[in-house]
Amino acid sequence: MRKYLRLGLLLLPLLMLWGCPPSQSAKKMPPLFIITNALDTGKEPSFLVTKDFDLDKNLDLVVLNSGDHTFSYFRGNGDGSFKDPVVFKTGADPICITVADFNTDGFPDLAELNYRDQSVQIFLNTGHGGFKSMGEVLHPGKIPINLVAGDFNEDGIPDLAVSLRYHKVAILIGKGAGYFNDPVTVPMRGQPTGLVIDDYNGDQHTDVAVALAGSGNVGVQILWGKGDGQFEPSQLFRGGGQPLTIVNIDANGDGWTDLVTSSNSLHAMTTVMNNGDGTFKSLRDFAAGEFPKFVAASDFDGDGNVDLVVSNATQDTISVTLGRGDGTFVYPPVNHYVDEYPQGIAVGDFNKDNLMDIAVSCRDKNLLLILTKKNLQRASLPTAS
Ligand SMILES: [Ca+2]
Ligand SMILES: [Ca+2]
Ligand SMILES: [Ca+2]
Ligand SMILES: [Ca+2]
């Protein structure tokens, strides 16, 4: 029985391909990036963040190794290469990480979510090329899924918002020095998955945008921040079929932050436009690759319009979808073959050529790949004067 099930799962993508032949006009686009570095990680690397953690002006990387309950910290050399990683032990099944300076010493710290332990752990940046786990383990609530940091009560200390499977978002107010108050929950109209922060209504208070997926209501809900750590949940907005990932993007350049969600099971992405009056309008879904896992936004071709990069887990590709600047995106996306089961994506200028690069974790090969700009790389090198 199991064997047939597995066979069925293998055939499923094929059947889906037969079911939806690519459109005749869809021509192949030349890749924008090439793989210029491959770094060894721990087991099953997943979620990935980039930041200059040691303040040497070179971007660094932190990747969660979900398979061996650790994270790897790679310090950047500023030329697209990285030092050998330092590895830190997490709780069981780390799946998500957020960066903020929790003890306000100037060095960015980490908050990391452990799915099986249903816990959040804080790792303070020692400033000497490492992190130190806070002894205290936070318990935000039952089945935490995702987390994000922001200063919700405007006291200068970062706070946390954690999505909980059973229709809640937990808010943990930071007390400084890496400590937090007990969680306070806000009820949601569906099962929250991904969440991001920004000021979506221009009242200078940080809000939280939450994707809702699962068996009940689906879409996007905003938690309007009041500036004192409390939130007012918005109505439910349409925001994709089963949105699991959500990113901020000003898709039409009007200064209001819009959202893009990706629906992993439906191979679709959705732009959710911010009307600027506290409401949002979702545009027609557009195609992603197979099983889009993580999404990041940046202007990759330098035309001033924000583009998207998506990891297509079962296709072993990442695709760059170019933005038109009006909330819509060019079809087909530009595909780049990476390695097996790409997951986490981070975007930054790792080699300091003023062009955006991409880092992607490949789960089944325990690799972190660095992709840099293909053609312009040489030409943009500074010339001797
Ligand atoms: Ca650095
Ligand atoms: Ca710090
Ligand atoms: Ca705060
Ligand atoms: Ca606001």
Q: What is the DSSP string of 297-347?
A: EE-SSSSSS-EEEEEEGGGTEEEEE-B-SSS-B-SS-EEEE-SSSEEEEEE
* Residue-wise DSSP of 7-72: HHHHHHHHHHHHHSPPPTT-PPPPPSEEEEEEEE-SSSEEEEEEE-TTSSSS-EEEEEETTTTEEE
Mean pLDDT of 296-308: 94
Mean pLDDT of 201-218: 96
Tens digits of per-residue pLDDT, 159-190?
999 999 999 999 999 999 999 999 999 999 99
Return the ligand number nearest the Cα of 73.
1
Confidence of residue 65 (pLDDT cuts 50, 70, 90): very high
- Cα(178) to centroid of ligand 3, in Å? 11
C-alpha distances out from residue 224 to 151, 281, 338, Å: 13, 17, 39
Amino acid 15: pLDDT: 35
**Between 62 and 331, residue with greater pLDDT:** 62
Q: Rounded to the nearest 5 degrees, what angle is found at the Cα of 299, between the Cα atoms of 305 and 97?
A: 125
Q: What percent of the chain has pLDDT over 70?
A: 90
Mean pLDDT of 181-202: 98
The residue whose two tokens read 């922060």 is 197
pTM of the shown model: 0.89
- Cα(37) to centroid of ligand 3, in Å? 38
Spatial strand order of the sheet with 367-373 comes to 33-40, 367-373, 357-362, 342-348
Token readout for 120 is 């959040």
Q: How many CA atoms lie within 13 A of 130 on its CB side?
A: 7
Tens digits of per-residue pLDDT, 103-160?
999 999 999 999 999 999 999 999 988 999 998 899 999 999 999 999 999 999 999 9
Question: Is the pLDDT reported for residue 349 higher than 50?
Answer: yes
Confidence of residue 345 (pLDDT cuts 50, 70, 90): very high
Mean pLDDT of the chain: 90
Amino acid 375: pLDDT: 62
Token readout for 282 is 């979702």
Token readout for 108 is 């960015």
Mean pLDDT of 335-357: 94
Tens digits of per-residue pLDDT, 4-60?
334 334 333 333 333 333 443 445 678 899 999 999 999 999 999 999 999 999 999
Q: How many residues does the chain have?
A: 385
Tens digits of per-residue pLDDT, 81-104?
999 999 999 999 999 999 999 999
- Cα(81) to centroid of ligand 1, in Å? 11
Amino acid 27: pLDDT: 58
Amino acid 379: pLDDT: 44
Q: Which residues surround the ion ligand 3 when the cut-off is CB under 5 Å?
A: 151, 153, 155, 157, 159, 174
- Cα(347) to centroid of ligand 1, in Å? 15
Mean pLDDT of 54-74: 97
Q: Which residues surround the ion ligand 1 when the cut-off is CB under 5 Å?
A: 52, 54, 56, 58, 60
Q: Are 61 and 346 in contact (CB under 8 A)?
A: yes
Question: Is the pLDDT reported for residue 1 higher than 80?
Answer: no
Q: What percent of the chain has pLDDT over 90?
A: 83
